[in-house]
């Protein structure tokens, strides 16, 4: 049987993105031939450095190449200007909109033996909320006033809850197959602030409940929690959560905060998922303070690479990568500085490749 070739767009972006995205490529190239997968790659540009060179943060060529030539992509990180910069806006936010990547999926899992084991997924709506970036500033009677639009739609809310339910069921199938877990049944927690934002978050809450009431989710336990109390409970009782579904802003904050439960943002992957395309993206930023030192943790990118494969239907390949990463972390010989170790990016990568 001929091997299937997947063409992957590589968008390093800025800072350590240029150091960790090559690690994702090498992991794909190191996958066992028995999986029947081959890969080709295309290097693409986006980010603040691209903006400074060309005046455009997300070139049309990058989007067109992804749409016409690629099966998926890996995106590194982008720097944000420290002062207001006319014409600049986040390329990853624009990519999510232009490719209709409506779900940001962020697993957070502890590996080494801890008193509190964490195994949850935050499913973040990716296209609206305050991230529509419709802001204005005007003069008021007592000084300037700034306003931002928070947009919540019924369709986007239904779609994100729908995929959250599917993820909960898939996680349960993996558990039923023998994977160790703290969870015994699929569960989705709807996060909102409808006690204050009765129309926007109220619509999200009501629509998410309707989506999760579909017959195929009859085995999924559905509950809800106000976002501020969830922050408290997430840190006190992380084992209470399986799948969390949230509007864009809350999902962003919760997923970055949850990374503290497992030691570092350098461990936390994500996938930007649409109906026809997926982009793997580590949750960390461009980290200019460690850029060029060779000490960036590649694991978030490596796990994002596996997550990309998972949403492309290549679950066996993804599982091999997850297992190799887990084994590396459990042994603890090659840990990067963010985890209290001294290993270089290349040493962590080579250890994981050997385990593949």
- Same CATH topology for 1-101+274-356 and 108-262? yes
CA dihedral 65, 313, 77, 88 (to 10 degrees): 50
Element (H, E) at 248: helix 248-259
- 108-262 is classed in which CATH architecture? 3-Layer(aba) Sandwich (3.40)
pLDDT of residue 114: 53
Burial class from Cβ neighbours inside 10 Å (0-12, 13-18, 19+) for residue 42 reads middle
Q: How, if at all, do strands 243-246 and 271-273 pair?
A: unpaired
3-state secondary structure at position 119: strand
**Residue-wise burial string across 134-166, b where 16 or more C-beta atoms lie within 10 A, e elsewhere:** eeeeeeeeeeeeeeeebbbbeebbbbbbbbbbb
pLDDT of residue 270: 93
pLDDT tens for the 356 residues of the chain, in order: 456 799 999 999 999 999 999 999 999 999 999 999 999 999 999 999 999 999 999 999 999 999 999 999 999 999 988 788 888 888 998 898 899 999 999 999 886 545 567 889 999 998 899 988 899 999 999 999 999 999 999 999 999 999 999 999 988 877 776 555 677 789 999 999 999 999 999 999 999 999 999 999 999 999 999 999 999 999 888 888 999 999 999 999 998 888 888 878 899 999 999 988 999 999 899 999 999 999 999 999 999 999 999 889 888 898 899 889 989 998 989 999 999 999 999 999 999 999 99
71, 39 contact by CB (below 8 A) = no
User: 145: which strand partners?
Assistant: 138
**Tokens 């934002």 correspond to what residue?**
197
pLDDT of residue 110: 80
**Tokens 């890969």 correspond to what residue?**
39
pLDDT of residue 170: 82
Can you say how many angstroms the Cα of residue 234 is from the centroid of all Cα atoms in its chain?
A: 18
248, 122 contact by CB (below 8 A) = no
93, 334 contact by CB (below 8 A) = no
Determine the angle formed by the axes of helices 60-69 and 91-98, rounding to 10 degrees.
40
Q: How, if at all, do strands 278-280 and 72-77 pair?
A: parallel
243, 168 contact by CB (below 8 A) = yes
Structure tokens at 238: 């992380």
pLDDT of residue 1: 47
pLDDT of residue 78: 92
Structure tokens at 99: 């490719």
The domains of the chain are located at 1-101+274-356, 108-262
CATH (residue range 1-101+274-356): 3.40.718.10
Which 8-state DSSP code applies to residue 151? B
- Rounded CA-CA distance 36/203 in Å is 45
165, 220 contact by CB (below 8 A) = yes
């Amino acid at each position: 049987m001929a091997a299937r070739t997947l063409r992957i767009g590589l968008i390093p972006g800025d800072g350590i993105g240029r150091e960790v995205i090559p690690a994702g490529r090498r992991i794909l190239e190191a996958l066992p031939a028995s999986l029947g997968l081959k890969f080709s790659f295309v290097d693409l540009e986006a980010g603040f450095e691209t903006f400074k060179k060309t005046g455009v943060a997300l070139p049309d060529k990058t989007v067109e190449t992804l749409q016409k030539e690629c099966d998926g992509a890996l995106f590194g990180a982008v720097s944000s200007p420290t002062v207001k910069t006319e014409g600049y806006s986040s390329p990853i936010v624009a990519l999510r909109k232009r490719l209709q990547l409506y779900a940001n999926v962020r697993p957070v899992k502890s590996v080494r033996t801890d008193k509190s084991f964490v195994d949850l997924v935050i499913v973040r709506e990716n296209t609206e909320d305050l991230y529509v970036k419709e802001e204005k500033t005007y003069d008021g009677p007592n000084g300037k006033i700034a306003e931002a639009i928070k947009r919540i739609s019924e369709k986007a809310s239904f779609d994100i809850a729908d995929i959250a339910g599917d993820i909960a069921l898939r996680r349960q199938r993996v558990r039923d197959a023998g994977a160790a877990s703290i969870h015994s049944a699929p569960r989705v927690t709807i996060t909102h602030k409808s006690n204050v934002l009765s129309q926007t978050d109220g619509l999200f809450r009501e629509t998410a409940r309707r989506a999760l009431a579909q017959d195929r989710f009859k085995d999924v336990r559905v509950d809800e929690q106000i976002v501020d109390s969830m922050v408290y409970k997430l840190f006190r009782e992380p084992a209470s959560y399986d799948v969390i579904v949230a509007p864009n802003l809350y999902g962003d904050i919760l997923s970055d905060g949850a990374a503290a439960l497992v030691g570092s943002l350098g461990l936390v992957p994500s996938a930007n998922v649409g109906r026809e395309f997926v982009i793997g993206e580590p949750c960390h930023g461009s980290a200019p303070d460690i850029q060029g030192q060779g000490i960036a943790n590649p694991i978030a990118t490596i796990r994002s690479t596996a997550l990309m494969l998972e949403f492309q239907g290549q679950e066996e390949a993804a599982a091999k990568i997850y297992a190799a990463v887990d084994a590396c972390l459990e042994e603890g010989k090659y840990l990067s500085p963010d985890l209290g170790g001294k290993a270089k990016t290349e040493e962590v990568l080579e250890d994981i490749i050997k385990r593949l």
